[in-house]
Amino acid sequence: MNKVLKRWLIAGGILVALVLVALVGASFYFYNMTVARGKKSFISSPTALTKKDPLYQQKHWYKTVKKYHWTETAADAKFKLDANYIPAAKATKRTVVLVHGFASSKEQMGGYAGMFHNLGYNVLVPDDRAQGHSGGKAMSYGYYESRDYLKWINQVIARQGKKSQIVLFGVSMGGATTMITSGLKTPSQVKAYIEDCGYTTADDEIRYQAKQMYNLPYWPLVPMTNEVVKLRAHFSFKDADSVSAVKKNHKPMLFIHGGADTFVPTKMVYKVYRADAGPKQLLVVPGAKHAASLSHNPKLYQSTVKKFLEAKMPK
């Protein structure tokens, strides 16, 4: 082997090694951005509540109302989950369990909590694993969260009795969690689901965001990040699959999405809606951005939810 070729081979080997090191480093970075607990640079911090907010009354009510503290143990681990419980103004067996979104917490669910309180429901608002005051180091895009919410649902039944009537409602990642939960064996007391702007699968959403936010192709970074996810968080992006889940659902579900959603693209709602096997209804709110359908058109949103529940909940 001549000296020039040998040098080229050594240089090529060093270059390959550097590329691999860079990809591994990038994979761990994206693991921290997509799965690990902590603040996400691309998620804006909540703004102070003002009277200009179209949901001011609901959010102010939630901020000031007396809350009862509930806890639960995660489905697959020993860490604790945290929740607020607010009883209805008039005693009822109807309870809504609210599921918040990615990099959020129960404190950001005031608008939805207020809406359901006005509809006469008890309201349970947990913090997801690895978010808010709940324990855990990693989010799983609805895969493990769905099992956690089964435990919350069973706690509602244990506290309120077998005549409980439960609605599971989620927004964004919470919407996906709601859909994934619908594909599990849920108690008969779960009567309906409402999902707002959930994604088809976590793999689809990560693929989309890699291109949208970083202008990166799916391969090799997303598959490599997924390997880190499997190693450290013990699930795969493909495990968080709303489409497969709703194919197993036979309970009523209301699908909601913003018509101008560019974070979880609006086209995703049509795929999950078509796949759902149960009684279903679709609302696409014209002009609404991601997770903003309620604030964009409160009247349409609230009236649709009210009519859906009046039609689907037992009398």
* Domain harbouring 266, CATH code: 3.40.50.1820
Q: Give domain status of residue 46, yes or no.
A: no
Q: What is the pLDDT of residue 5?
A: 56
**In whole angstroms, what is the distance from residue 173 CA to residue 224 CA?**
22
Which residue positions in the chain have pLDDT lower than 70? 1-23
How do the residues of the chain divide into helix, strand and coil, expressed in percent and rounded to 5?
45, 15, 35
In this prediction, residue 157 carries a pLDDT of 98
Identify the pLDDT of residue 297.
Answer: 98
**Res 8: pLDDT:** 54
**Structural domain count of the chain:** 2
Residues 118-138 have pLDDT tens digits of 999 999 999 999 999 999 999
Q: What is the pLDDT of residue 218?
A: 92
Q: Of 212, 232, 252, at which residue does a domain stop?
A: 232
Q: Report pLDDT digits (tens) over 294-311.
A: 999 999 999 999 999 999
186 part of a folded domain: yes
| Per-residue pLDDT at 46 | 86
Q: 272 with 242: CB under 8 angstroms?
A: yes
Which pLDDT value is given to residue 17?
Answer: 47
DSSP string, 199-263: -SBHHHHHHHHHHHHH---STTHHHHHHHHHHHHHS--GGGSBHHHHHTT--S-EEEEEETT-TT
Neighbours of 225 (CB within 10 A): 24
At residue 15, the pLDDT reads: 47
Q: What is the DSSP letter of 109?
A: -
Asked if residue 44 is part of any domain, the answer here is no
Q: Are residues 149 and 209 in the same domain?
A: no
Q: Work out the number of other CB atoms within 10 angstroms of the CB of residue 50.
A: 8
Range of the domain at 216: 1-34+202-232
Output the pTM of the full model: 0.94
Burial of 47 (C-beta count, 10 Å sphere; 0-12/13-18/19+): exposed
One domain for residues 206 and 284: no
- Give the dihedral sign, CA 202/249/284/113: negative
